[in-house]
Structure 1
Amino acid sequence: MKAVILAAGEGTRMRPLTEDTPKPLLPVAGKPIIQHNINLIKDFVDEIIVVAGYEIGQIEDFFENTPVKIVEQREAQGTAHAALQAREYIDDRTLIMNGDDIYGSSIRQIKEHDTAFAAARSKNPENFGVLETIDGEVKSIVEKPDEPPSNLVNIGCYLVKPRFFELLENVEVSQRGEYEITDALSMYIAEEDVKLIETEEWLPCSYPWQMIEANQKLMQNLNHRVEGEVHETAVVKGDVVIEKGATVKEHSVIEGPAIIRSGAEVGPDAYIRGGTVLHSNVEVGKAEIKNSVLREESAVPHFSYVGDSYLGKNVNIGAGAKTANLRNDDATVRMAVKGELMDTGLRKMGAVIGSEAKIGVNTSIKPGRKIGFDASVDSAEKVGKNVPSGRTWKDGDIV
């Protein structure tokens, strides 16, 4: 059995986080999205093929010293077209997976079948491809129906025979101008007896707030391990990983689950709360970080608060700056994505800040706002709108 992981998309709904990083390489709970899935399947597949396109060089570098094969989708023409790029390497049953969703251990059951699709229950099935089943077999798939036949949704994980790759050749361009893999799935269902694998362990990573949710859930599986330097006055509670080369200075408190990667410096007097990941060479001084991801080289050095947020690489948070994470009316936080204001479903949600961004001193960022790649915010500002990449927020507006 081989595996094909689709990882070629630009991840536009995840911007600004994908301005400098392909979505499958965005870290969740300390490792890239795609690595979670590879760890799940590597012991029962013979070969892993990753179909890449956007920022393919980064994906090639990531897998450089591994047996993973990289295949390029030169033009973004849809998921069917992406999967088709691996056809010449397919000669047996093949597990096809999305590279930007995280699957749980129950997905491993799929290997026990001849051919099968995985699905999960959703409260909003109309937003997905919906599966109709009879006696544990998939009978149809309908993309985003107004009246869903069930609440079982397609989660982008399929075990198929080589014939499926022939069907991909017959897919016609959709109204969106792309070759959709669901069209090939419909043809395949008509020919094969496809078993259903239902799972509760599915973490979609399509929108920025889902990265916070996925990170929080996966952090529950940590095992306490302290290999770095921890000052005798620091307090470490719960399931905390402090890697060799990390430093926790005087009077700091770290509450698990938390991960402090090699090269990170914490404190003095820092307060790191549950759900937090500090990547390599992150600096946190006398500040509070809660349920947040701070990527490489970012800094929150002085008297600041970062909560329920995701920060890219080399972000600098000025002294006294804060990410607000709770609305005054206690309603769920909304976030604008590609011009549409969407309900995150989260009562607490802070900021999403792209790499290279700079936040001025004594600034507050309202819940659910995005600060773009290489954007900046002046000092003593209240950020009430998204700040586009490369732009500046000053005097209450974008300049």
Structure 2
Amino acid sequence: MKAIIMAGGKGTRLRPITCSIPKPMLPVMNIPLIEHIINLLKKHGIVDIGITLMFLPQRITSYFGDGSKWGVRLHYFTEEKPMGTAGSILSTSSFIDGTFVIISGDCITDLDLAQAIEYHRLKQAMATLVLTREENPVNFGIVATDSNGYIAGFLEKPSRCEVFSDTINTGIYVLEPEIFNHIDHDKPSDFSRDLFPVLLDKGHPLAGFVTYDYWSDIGTVESYLNTHCDIFNLKVESSFGKNKYGDNIIIGRSTIIEPTAVINGPCLIGSNCYIGHGTVIGSYSVIGNNCFIEEQTSIKRSILMSNCSIGRGCELRGSILGNKVRLMHYVSCYENAVVGDECVIHERSIIKPNIRIWPRKIVGSLSVVDRNIVWVSRYKPELFSQDGLTGTVNVDITPEFASRLGSAYGSVLGQGKSIVISSDDSNASSLFKYAFISGLMSVGIKVNNICEAPVPLSRQAVRLLQAAGGVHVKRSSESADKLEIDFFDKYGADADSSVAKSIESIFYKEDFLRCRAQSILDINNIGDLSDWYLRHLLERTDTGCIREKACPSVLLVSNGESMLSFIRNIFKELGIPIGGEMLVREFDSKNIRSVEHFLSADLTAFIDRSGEKLILVDSYGQVIDGNLFFLLTSYILLQSIPRCNIVSPMNMTSQLERIAARHGGTIKRVKASKHAILKELMKSDIYDGTINQYMLQFDAAASLAKIIEFMCRHETTLDNILKFLPAYHLRHKSVLCSFDSIGKVMRIVLSEDNTAKQLCDGIRISLKNSWVLIIPDANKPLLHIYTEGNTGREAELLMEKYINKIKEVCISQAAH
């Protein structure tokens, strides 16, 4: 049996301690991570080991040589360019001559490899994935298995709303050599994202071996510290020292400890160290080799790498110091702070919690370091929520914040790229926009600045100007003191979550690109685009029909004065009569109905200041919003374009399929989010044809115009159109569920009974004449439950049944 250790990783999330060493060489208990893996393989009789390298390969080859010192035979394979986890092993194909093991070089585990290999042979699989349970699986690849132990589905690093199990992929595999025939040679290929899904589609058997042995992915500073605690607490089988000094205290050779020093176990002190008088080394601390710690210093639950010098009276609490760090007298370093290699921190400085200091920095005396110095993330709330980026003006969102955010976004796009930026008519939005532009320009981005524009116009401007992306700044619908910032991709759709994560990462790492002075580009200030928008809408609207038929008069309501003006100008050209206008703070159907009767308007329409949301009110005072509005616009689209395809969220009523079937149309279900629908719609030309789904559901002005045009063409009213829509019985509730329990809840729901299930967005359970959809909330410890039945009572009973199931699992989890 042979094994391949993947050791090409940079360990970017662990920087600055991985700046000058590859992640597999990061010391755990003063021994490189990869050495723990080599010892594990040797323990199970695997001595022919290949190691794939890329980042700083010489650090690994010079340390291990041919492996004879460890009783193994090592073979090295260096990647020329990143080829993904699966692609990285292609160069090892000549080395492999039978069943082999793949293991990551950056984990700590005492996995019984013999059991995993035996399970692989029993299942006769092409690949066996070693799986484990994880309470919070969002940072890992989650896996679903069937009742026979074979893989049923994958999702790599899901968002909270995508979690369907607490079973995760450890990155340890037992493979057959035929696997090489399925790896793409021409582009990067990842095991979980690319290779395994392809094998699954082709019908090759993939087995899942669930282990309850210890496994820890050393991916973050927190997991690095916690893994050391687990080793000290004997949760993992590990031989990390021989010379005992008191209770579970390990001391290296030639180390001097003064008589008045206090050493509290469990802890590890390396070789050739000095511990001064009155110094306290607390539990769960690791001191590297050749460290010099002066008197009256206190170190608790901290990790010092080799050759550190700690001055008199220093205090370390849950911190990590890289190699050759010097702390002068009375320096304090607090929880989760990380100081990179060869830094010098001068007297009486304070390093606050969660701070990262890049290698070879000098911090002056009496400094209070409360933000990262150059690099790597601090503990932080996420910038982006499920609804985008929001914050209070001059509290969360300051001009400085906006400029840094602009630099981060520009760094993601790259120098020389073009973007569209726009805002609503508020002064706060303009303030943020121009501060954001300064950050973009510092990176060398070409800025197309639109003075004031609704969101649909901004989306279309991105496509019109062929920009790489776009940003729109607007007042929040929740509060006038808050702003919302929307990011668009090159199609004008909401930017993907991966873009948000990249922006967030660069923002907190402060890893901004900076261009030369001559590369700073002019701002392209674009005037009012309303004329262009109107021209395109006129080309696609039958104004003759509107003017000739009995066109309904409209009471226009909005919470934006500029939006009322925008609609007024457009409807004047389209020939749509406006029975009245009403500026409100928020939508209130009762107050609006009284005004409508007073003005004798035929139709009431509320359009929010962003220009994306349209709410209608019929003559009976019924509010047409949400699901009913989606059904209405879908019906109008199917009447206008028979046999068309409609993109629908997973939580929409199944009556939609029945409406589509009557008109020969089809329904494509996507995740229950505006982003998912827009992403699908924006793949096509949103200017194509006289009517389409984008116009009806995401451009409020165009939607209202097309609905009125439809009413005129068919000489009907909104009330009559609504009569053609079928009744539906849809329910939605949210249930509290801790983040630690969500994965287990979803796994149990997924594994029970034989009902048909889908994993597109959470878990959708299809019953005979009803369905249930369970979706984890992206930001809160909640599970959203949607049910639909033939009757309201049936939907409510289903809701009650699944709420009780979830509560039972949550109570059971809490008890353990």
Matched residue, 2:343: 357
The Cα of 1:197 is off from its aligned counterpart by 2.6
Q: Give the whole-Å Cα distance in 2 for the aligned partners of 1:39 and 1:188.
A: 32
Matched residue, 1:289: 299
Letter in 2 for 1:50: I
CA contact (8 A) 2:284 2:301 kept: yes
Q: Give the whole-Å Cα distance in 2 for the aligned partners of 1:225 and 1:37.
A: 19
Q: Deviations over 1:114-155 (max 9, x none)?
A: 252111222333432211101222222222344333211111
Distance 1:296 1:193, change over 3 A: closer
| 3-state secondary structure, aligned to 1:302 | coil
| 3-state secondary structure, aligned to 1:218 | helix
Letter in 2 for 1:141: F
Distance 1:164 1:263, change over 3 A: same
Distance 1:263 1:166, change over 3 A: same
| 3-state secondary structure, aligned to 2:307 | coil
Q: Give the whole-Å Cα distance in 2 for the aligned partners of 1:223 and 1:76.
A: 33
Q: Give the whole-Å Cα distance in 2 for the aligned partners of 1:281 and 1:96.
A: 35
| 3-state secondary structure, aligned to 2:294 | strand
CA contact (8 A) 1:81 1:179 kept: yes
Picking from 86, 100, 103, the partner of 1:80 is 86
Q: Give the whole-Å Cα distance in 1 for the aligned partners of 2:269 and 2:94.
A: 42
Matched residue, 1:206: 219
Superposition map of 1:34-183 within 5 A: 34-43=34-43, 44-66=45-67, 67-113=73-119, 114=121, 115=125, 116-135=128-147, 136-145=149-158, 146-169=161-184, 173=187, 178-182=188-192, 183=194
The Cα of 1:65 is off from its aligned counterpart by 4.6
Q: Give the whole-Å Cα distance in 2 for the aligned partners of 1:122 and 1:224.
A: 29
| 3-state secondary structure, aligned to 1:88 | coil
Picking from 362, 368, 385, the partner of 1:376 is 362
CA contact (8 A) 1:107 1:197 kept: no
Percent identity reads 26
Q: Give the whole-Å Cα distance in 2 for the aligned partners of 1:224 and 1:191.
A: 45
CA contact (8 A) 2:79 2:88 kept: yes
| 3-state secondary structure, aligned to 1:80 | helix
Matched residue, 2:285: 276
Letter in 2 for 1:154: N
Letter in 2 for 1:119: L
Q: Give the whole-Å Cα distance in 2 for the aligned partners of 1:188 and 1:88.
A: 22
Flag the structure with more relative contact order, 1 or 2, with Cα contacts below 8 A and sequence separation at least 6.
1
With the length of structure 2 as denominator, give the TM-score of the two structures: 0.42
Q: Give the whole-Å Cα distance in 1 for the aligned partners of 2:84 and 2:139.
A: 18
CA contact (8 A) 2:319 2:334 kept: no
Matched residue, 1:11: 11
Q: Give the whole-Å Cα distance in 1 for the aligned partners of 2:173 and 2:153.
A: 14
| 3-state secondary structure, aligned to 2:314 | strand
Distance 1:260 1:11, change over 3 A: same
Matched residue, 1:226: 243
Matched residue, 1:394: none
Q: Deviations over 1:211-244 (max 9, x none)?
A: 11111111234788537xxxxxxxx541011122
Letter in 1 for 2:117: K
Distance 1:188 1:94, change over 3 A: farther
Matched residue, 1:252: 261
Q: Give the whole-Å Cα distance in 2 for the aligned partners of 1:357 and 1:253.
A: 27
Q: Give the whole-Å Cα distance in 1 for the aligned partners of 2:224 and 2:64.
A: 22
Q: Give the whole-Å Cα distance in 1 for the aligned partners of 2:240 and 2:82.
A: 40
CA contact (8 A) 1:259 1:277 kept: yes
Per mean C-alpha deviation after superposition, the further-off stretch among 280-289 and 123-132 is 123-132
Matched residue, 2:249: 240
Superposition map of 1:387-398 within 5 A: 387-388=373-374
CA contact (8 A) 2:321 2:338 kept: yes
Distance 1:273 1:2, change over 3 A: same
With the length of structure 1 as denominator, give the TM-score of the two structures: 0.83
Unaligned ranges ≥5, structure 2: 68-72, 376-509, 511-816
The Cα of 1:193 is off from its aligned counterpart by 4.5
CA contact (8 A) 1:138 1:196 kept: no
Letter in 1 for 2:198: M
The Cα of 1:68 is off from its aligned counterpart by 1.6
Q: Deviations over 1:278-322 (max 9, x none)?
A: 111101112111111111110113100112111110000111001
The Cα of 1:200 is off from its aligned counterpart by 5.1
Q: Give the whole-Å Cα distance in 2 for the aligned partners of 1:65 and 1:282.
A: 30
Letter in 2 for 1:63: F
Distance 1:91 1:58, change over 3 A: same
Distance 1:314 1:253, change over 3 A: same
CA contact (8 A) 2:41 2:47 kept: no
Q: Give the whole-Å Cα distance in 2 for the aligned partners of 1:193 and 1:105.
A: 19
Q: Give the whole-Å Cα distance in 2 for the aligned partners of 1:71 and 1:8.
A: 10
The Cα of 1:165 is off from its aligned counterpart by 1.9
CA contact (8 A) 1:263 1:282 kept: yes
Superposition map of 1:277-356 within 5 A: 277-286=286-295, 287-325=297-335, 350-356=336-342
Q: Give the whole-Å Cα distance in 2 for the aligned partners of 1:88 and 1:78.
A: 19
CA contact (8 A) 1:118 1:199 kept: no
Distance 1:257 1:273, change over 3 A: same
Distance 1:364 1:273, change over 3 A: same
The Cα of 1:64 is off from its aligned counterpart by 1.0
Unaligned ranges ≥5, structure 1: 228-235, 326-349, 390-397
CA contact (8 A) 1:137 1:194 kept: yes
| 3-state secondary structure, aligned to 2:58 | helix
- Per residue, is there more strand in 1 or in 2? 1
Q: Give the whole-Å Cα distance in 2 for the aligned partners of 1:313 and 1:64.
A: 22
Letter in 2 for 1:211: Y
Letter in 2 for 1:285: E
Q: Deviations over 1:84-104 (max 9, x none)?
A: 221121111111111112222
Q: Give the whole-Å Cα distance in 1 for the aligned partners of 2:3 and 2:304.
A: 31
Per mean C-alpha deviation after superposition, the further-off stretch among 12-21 and 193-202 is 193-202
CA contact (8 A) 1:375 1:388 kept: no
CA contact (8 A) 1:107 1:199 kept: no
Residue 270 of structure 2 corresponds to residue 261 of structure 1? yes
Picking from 173, 185, 188, the partner of 2:196 is 185
Matched residue, 2:459: none
CA contact (8 A) 1:224 1:238 kept: no
- Per residue, is there more helix in 1 or in 2? 2
Q: Give the whole-Å Cα distance in 1 for the aligned partners of 2:207 and 2:241.
A: 42
CA contact (8 A) 1:106 1:199 kept: no
Matched residue, 2:20: 20
Q: Give the whole-Å Cα distance in 1 for the aligned partners of 2:86 and 2:254.
A: 44
| 3-state secondary structure, aligned to 1:361 | coil
CA contact (8 A) 2:145 2:153 kept: yes
CA contact (8 A) 1:279 1:294 kept: yes
